[in-house]
Amino acid sequence: MNKIIDLIDEEQRYQNNTIRLIPSENFISEAVKQALSSDLSNKYAEGYPGKRYYQGNKFIDEIENLAIERGKRLFKVEHMNVQPYSGSPANAAILMALLEPGDKICGMKLSAGGHLTHGHPRITFSGKFFESVQYDVDSEGKIDYEALEEMVEREKPKLIFCGGTAYPWKIDWQIFSKIASKVNAYLIADIAHIAGLIVGGVHESPVDFVDVISSTTHKTLRGPRGAFIGVTKKGLERDSELAKKIDRAVFPGLQGGPHMNTIAAMAVAFEEASRPEFKEYANQIIKNAQALKRGLEMVGSGRDRSVPLKIFGTENHLLVIDCGFEKGKEVAVKLEEMGIIVNANTIPHDQAGPFKPSGIRVGTPAMTTKGWKEKEFEEVGERIGRMIINM
């Protein structure tokens, strides 16, 4: 026990004493942390509020209903399921609810900034159990909507994912909606990375254009490591049974008892995200990402060398930086030695493999939570850029 406590303390010091630039990481509030560490971990609650398979869930039902209502209000959806354990199970539940094995799905390529669960072939459930076609980005890392439209009309997928994990640009939900409607495909917005930006008012919401949204509750939303699925008004107009299908796919389709401590923490995070100061936080995330890019550009513009760094982005909270062929992991390791925590990442049209990619992914949510402003991000951008060009 003492060894675990010691390691937790060491990790806490490490997090506080390093510069955290992984876009999917953040720091939760003390209120969220209190909910996570509560006695709610002791309770089994298989089923849904009012329809449990275990007794003794009077207060559990109230907690889950509160999380649901707060989430629906925050994201402006008609129905919300807050039980998925994380983003991948949430997307698995959507596929299970809406499709049959072997149906065709469409998502962004992993190397272009997409997510494994959006149909990455061979090694994921989404690529193994469904036929997958994937769209790409152009030389600037932006979605080629014309090529996407041509592919969708040719391949006629039954479901389309929009959203990604390393996509540094805003997503045009309306164009996606028009493309999906041509083949009557379900349209799913995976907003895991940008959920906090959406509720903070600095990224357009997809709810008027898609059938379903899925999201984690950490990253820019600054909540616990959980997930939710939201069904929109558009989705229910398309299929009045859509909410029931989603719920059945989550439980009993894929999961057993929900993690009630996480659901309570989600309810806390949803309330925090509804406050005016959260909008200020989201706005600062964007300002800081732009400042980080300026710092990188200061180095690459000729002061240290004549060839600029290739930077993809940014219109949201993250950037992808070309470090040179297969140098992304090496750069990430060297930055860690400097106390700067990033992750190696493929760049658009990367000729290197995923274990030795050519880029790194950096973002601003965590250090913005710590109070960083533009000045600090410009400075760390210069440090990163200088290290890359001197390798």
Give the active site residues: 44, 46, 190, 216, 219, 225
Distance between CA atoms of 273 and 270, rounded to whole angstroms?
5
CA atoms of 10 and 2, how far apart (whole Å): 12
> How far is Cα 273 from Cα 197, in angstroms, rounded to an integer?
10
Contacts made by residues 326-330, CB under 8 angstroms, sequence distance 24+: 326/352, 326/356, 326/357, 326/358, 327/358, 327/391, 328/352, 328/356, 328/357, 328/358, 328/359, 328/360, 329/355, 329/356, 329/357, 330/391
Which 3 state secondary structure label does DSSP give 49?
coil
Contact between 383 and 296 under an 8 Å Cβ cutoff? The reply is: no
Continuous H helices in 183-227: 195-199
Q: Which residues contact 99 (CB under 8 A, 6 or more apart)?
A: 105, 130, 158, 159
Residue 67 neighbours by CB under 8 Å, 6+ apart? 82, 263, 264, 266, 267, 270
Give residue for tokens 């903070």.
200
Give the Å distances, CA to CA, from 381 to 154, 300, 390: 43, 11, 14
Spatial CB neighbours of 162, under 8 Å, sequence gap ≥ 6? 108, 171, 173, 176, 187, 188, 189, 190, 206, 210
User: 296 near 319, Cβ under 8 Å?
Assistant: yes
37/74 Cα distance (integer angstroms):
24
Q: For the purposes of burial, counting CB atoms within 10 Å of the CB of 225, is it exposed (0-12), middle (13-18) or buried (19 or more)?
A: middle
Is residue 50 exposed (0-12), middle (13-18) or buried (19+ Cβ within 10 Å)?
Answer: exposed
